Structure 1
């Protein structure tokens, strides 16, 4: 049973990456062996409040205090910090943070130094986002909503997005950057033309698929292990005025609270009745580009697309919004959740890539089995179809090993007391997949053992390990991922 829905996702972002921190000056402990170079020392903060802010993320589960927070005024400060660490007999670890949207402490550095990337934007004098005819140059600390605004002023737009736009560019590119456009345009990392990177050895490298290509492919999807992205050149296309090419699926489960706010109020009782009857309702969400000149054509395309679908005919809904409203739709949910005190709560999320050949088995075992039967968590459950040929296997990101696969996001919010229960459920889901030979790959994952990471990367592990030895041999960068610790 499916609802066909030409609308916008209720989903919170899959992507999650780094955290805003507001920095103040402090003084290092004079008895500490950590004595940075004289010109770098004033840019390091040891203030307790600043350290506390750098010790949390959107997940609100992991808490790791750094020794200091760097507030860089330019890229050279980051270079100098990394080189200083490399010069020590026992290097300290370094983590770059942008907007703090990791959920497992990936951007933390226990007793190390967190780099507050957002401060770079304060010193770029308006040069953090420069729009050209075919691409945009963006500082790694910039957030995607600002990239959208800057490019739309020129009638242009990046092609691939995340659901939530208040994420840093460097953060999403260090993971992959996915959403409902990925099936057509690939992840965000497939739309990058060039990068500026500071490697784990403190080298500043401008790289692309042609020049310094090994650095380029390593860093994209590299989980921050090989370098810190300070600039990205992102491909652009013409901006539509209404909607976008976007395909997503999500589930309504018979688990309170049932959010039906998108649907017309008179239809909400009918939808509730359907959910009560079937326990799970599967919703397909389809969105198309159009403007005043192409609306009739798009209407016909949509009609043709849905003809072969099996759905309840009276459960088809439409909503018409601008291109920007669509892309920024999750922010409206954020405003509501913040007003209710439900944004800054634990998020024990689980995101996975699932082979298309096993999606039915996953549905039976996980959605209908573990989640529905245990009934211990409520949240948002979304799926994106993906095409492998839109990903570049030379990059560090790993995906399911089939031509077509799905991203599944089990996006659960929790109170503090219930986090452990949901984490146990997540482990049961992963174990079910393992026991039944469903070869999933986790996305935005954390807190794995070394053996777990080796299994995660599979045939790419040797390449990934070799890249670490080449670009960050002292294992300084991104310790919060737990890959080489």
Structure 2
């Protein structure tokens, strides 16, 4: 028997394809079996530490291999290979975009991590027309999508606050920002997906074709397939943005004004809110303007209020429409009850506004303050309990203990598609609340996680009706409670598209069956 045939026979037996069940295959045999695959890209089996890190900097799970795919076929071949190893293999697969997960969701302990950004980006294609759209790889960054679509005077409708994330990553969650009240999350603006399922099948799906998989994958936390291509709806892009921030001294006026703005027909194009824990009585870091003189003005705004609320809004316009924009903005501002002396605004390009967080990232990186632990907590709160939540959390639990931005803004439920996998509260309006601390100095990881725990405990005890966004749970009971009446559907979809629980092990929702005995040949 020739040597290649012997090698193939050994591999055949190791994978359980010849009636032998594979159990805890040694790392060297896993490397050999993966290395034998015919790929356009390649595997890496050494120096894997970067695949065991993410933005959260709270988890570190080493994989056995990292796939740098040269094509979608590479991803399908790899997943199908793992699927054919059978239920007793411990090997799993995690798709990693830009690694912006918080608690190891993009990692795969002892498994395979797929570097989605390695997919070729030359496949991005903009289709202008009556209903314009862009086709882009699931591993493409949103900032690159924006740069390409702006060449045609177009842009996606809905964004996240940070654009250096992959398409597949945000669509696996929801993708929210200040445009969500108007256009819905990013998952509400997708026309079509290409997905590699947990069986290794490449499936094109849309609301009309393979619709169950399409809706399952959107907001599905990577449980049903790896998004390798997405067709994103576009709209005409403005050239400029009027960027405004104002302050409120009371929560009632702040929320009532926000809710009025998101329900109005003529309103701003972007609406978000922030909570400011006032530690010094002098506020100088909340404004949006880039005018150096504004720092002096802002420092003169003093108050004894311990908790304040900042409303951030934008109005899109083109230079020839500046006068009309000015009138519309003034009319909207005249309806709001903010503190008049706190009004700050500036005009920036559309790109400058959308990529604003990246500018802050570069400054933090220069100071060594970006790659630090980020024990973030993102919640979705019903409108009916948001005041009860705010009183307890902002005025009692946090006080002056936070170390990072706190976002809070309402969105309209009607803009969300209830066929997707995302779980949201009942009620027409609900609030997105994000606690975004960095664990530095006195704000240790333990300290911050303890604050998060207190917030969650209060929500449960007070029946706030909270749902986590970017959910992080450790038990099946918690996941069942999170999905509630939709758990059975979620589980059925898992059984259909990833029956061996190969995909996205870092989410901790489903555990792949592991073997109890080693295989010896």
Normalising to structure 2: TM-score of the pair?
0.83
Name the SS for the 2:285 alignment partner.
Answer: coil
Q: Is 2:117 the counterpart of 1:87?
A: no
Cα RMSD over matched residues?
1.9
The match for 1:171 is: 169
Output one character per residue of 1:366-389: Cα deviation in whole Å (capped at 9) or x when no partner.
Answer: 1111011xx333110111211000
1:180 to 178, 181, 185: 178
Output one character per residue of 1:110-165: Cα deviation in whole Å (capped at 9) or x when no partner.
Answer: 001000111112xx5x2234444310001001000010010000001110000000
The question of whether the paired residues in 2 share the 8 Å contact of 1:104 and 1:445 is answered with: no
1:413 to 426, 438, 450: 438
The match for 2:52 is: 55
Shift of 1:320: 0.7
Q: How many residues align?
A: 448
Output one character per residue of 1:419-447: Cα deviation in whole Å (capped at 9) or x when no partner.
Answer: 01211110110110111110011001224
The match for 1:195 is: 193
Name the SS for the 1:114 alignment partner.
Answer: strand
The question of whether the paired residues in 2 share the 8 Å contact of 1:129 and 1:147 is answered with: no
The match for 2:496 is: 470
Name the SS for the 1:193 alignment partner.
Answer: strand
Name the SS for the 1:66 alignment partner.
Answer: coil
2:341 to 291, 296, 314: 314
Normalising to structure 1: TM-score of the pair?
0.89
CA distance in 1, matches of 2:31, 2:159: 44
2:295 to 258, 265, 277: 265
Name the SS for the 1:321 alignment partner.
Answer: strand
The match for 1:380 is: 405
The match for 1:302 is: 329
Q: Is 2:173 the counterpart of 1:148?
A: no
CA distance in 2, matches of 1:480, 1:300: 50
Name the SS for the 1:437 alignment partner.
Answer: coil
Q: Is 2:212 the counterpart of 1:214?
A: yes
CA distance in 1, matches of 2:345, 2:147: 26
The question of whether the paired residues in 2 share the 8 Å contact of 1:40 and 1:81 is answered with: no
Q: Is 2:248 the counterpart of 1:250?
A: no
- Superposed, 1:92-171 pairs within 5 Å as 92-121=91-120, 124=121, 126-133=122-129, 134-171=132-169
The match for 2:425 is: 400
5+ long unaligned stretches in structure 2: 1-25, 242-267, 512-521
Given the superposition, is the C-alpha separation of residues 360 and 34 from structure 1 closer, same or farther in structure 2, using an over 3 Å criterion?
farther
Shift of 1:340: 0.6
Shift of 1:40: 4.2
Between stretches 232-241 and 441-450, larger displacement belongs to 441-450
Between stretches 349-358 and 441-450, larger displacement belongs to 441-450
- Of structures 1 and 2, the larger Rg is shown by 2
The match for 2:393 is: 366
Shift of 1:293: 3.2
The match for 2:247 is: none
The match for 1:205 is: 203
2:468 to 421, 425, 442: 442
CA distance in 2, matches of 1:29, 1:232: 34
CA distance in 2, matches of 1:110, 1:466: 25
CA distance in 2, matches of 1:136, 1:52: 34
The match for 2:264 is: none
CA distance in 2, matches of 1:379, 1:179: 17
